[in-house]
Amino acid sequence: MTFRIVFAGTPEFAVPCLRAAAKFGEVVAVYTQPDRPAGRGRALTPSPVKREALQRGIEVFQPETLREKVSRDALRALKPDLMVVVAYGLILPQKVLDIPTHGCWNVHASLLPRWRGAAPIQRAIEAGDTETGVCLMRMEKGLDTGPVLLSQRIDIGAQETGGQLHDRLSDLGAQVLADGLGLLRADIVPVAVPQPAEGVTYAHKLDKHEAKLDWTQPAVVLANKVRAFNPWPVAEAELAGERVRIHGAVALDLAHDQSPGRVIAAGRDGIDIACGDGALRIRSLQREGGKAITAADYLNARRDLLATAG
């Protein structure tokens, strides 16, 4: 069975899924967000999905919304058997969901119903989750509420960052999508399993203001934030009178009587900062206007911390 696929996606995360879709069906069109200003020159820049589509000679549509009749008519004219949606960034109205013969499938980077919403990868790390995964879901009107067709679980590494987990889940998403498309090509529709009512959580969009660390919080909480917010928005904090961005840190189960934010120890292994509970050992950080460096290199410029530690 051959079928016509319309693919909708925008960021780098969706590119492996587009490649998988192209292997299992005829991708007749790609929908992606309009070009946005980027870089120092703020030039209009195509999305990663658009670049991949153009390289493959696939027609690209970039509507501002899918709520208008003209947009729906354009989609209907493509006669899609299936629409695959991966981190597209636009809401699909019910009238759009009803157009493809087999409906719309969504690849979502969490184990639904946990972490519905915009930032499931980062929120899982921030919450201290030890596992996550990918769900292939049949879309409905609600936010990530549709029944799950297929899923795969993976462990989250103890020191894994948001960027590292993003890349692993991007590849896993393509694998799960390929499994689903393989079944559909064999004229087998995956069984749709409704999501349980229990365990629903929402992964709200990341905000740059969240990056500021509060030393009164437990070290474990701060270490998870550092991991989750790498590579964006990158955790930041006040360190001995200087604003720095923290790229790598671990929590220490360390009893102390120091006030939160005080440097307890400093050396080649890192800079230990007193927290509300335990201490955070900073291993990699960035000064304003500089690049990420090790704590040892930072201390070469901040010898005062060696003398004041503790």
What pLDDT is attached to residue 149?
Answer: 98
Whether 248 contacts 255, CB under 8 Å = no
Q: How far is CA 147 from CA 13, 66, 78, 132, in A?
A: 22, 23, 26, 18
- Residue for token pair 């960034």: 89
* Protein fold of 4-203: Rossmann fold (3.40.50)
Round to whole Å and give the CA distance between 306 and 146.
55
Residue 89 Rama label (left phi>0; alpha psi -120 to 50; beta): left
299 known member of a binding site:
no
252 known member of a binding site:
no
What pLDDT is attached to residue 260?
Answer: 97
Total Cβ atoms within 10 A of residue 233: 17
Spell out the residues 6+ positions from residue 96 whose beta carbon is closer than 8 angstroms to its own. 66, 72, 75, 83, 104
With a cut of 50, which residues of the chain have pLDDT below it?
none
**Rg for the chain, CA atoms, rounded:** 23
Round to whole Å and give the CA distance between 160 and 166.
10
Look up residue 219 and give its two tokens.
Answer: 């070290």
The reply to whether CATH 3.40.80.10 applies to domain 208-308 is: no
151 known member of a binding site:
no
What pLDDT is attached to residue 252?
Answer: 97
DSSP 149-189: EEEEEEEPPTT--HHHHHHHHHHHHHHHHHHHHHHHHTT-P
Round to whole Å and give the CA distance between 250 and 271.
10
For 57-110, what is each residue's pLDDT tens digit? Answer: 999 999 999 999 999 999 999 999 999 999 999 989 999 999 999 999 999 999
Round to whole Å and give the CA distance between 48 and 166.
15
Look up residue 242 and give its two tokens.
Answer: 């200087």
Total Cβ atoms within 10 A of residue 74: 15
What pLDDT is attached to residue 112?
Answer: 98
Among residues 26, 31, 27, 28, the alpha carbon closest in space to that of 9 is found at: 31
Can you give the residue ranges of every domain in the chain?
4-203, 208-308
Prior bond of 113 cis (ω within 30°): yes
For 214-243, what is each residue's pLDDT tens digit? Answer: 999 999 999 999 999 999 999 999 998 999
112 known member of a binding site:
yes
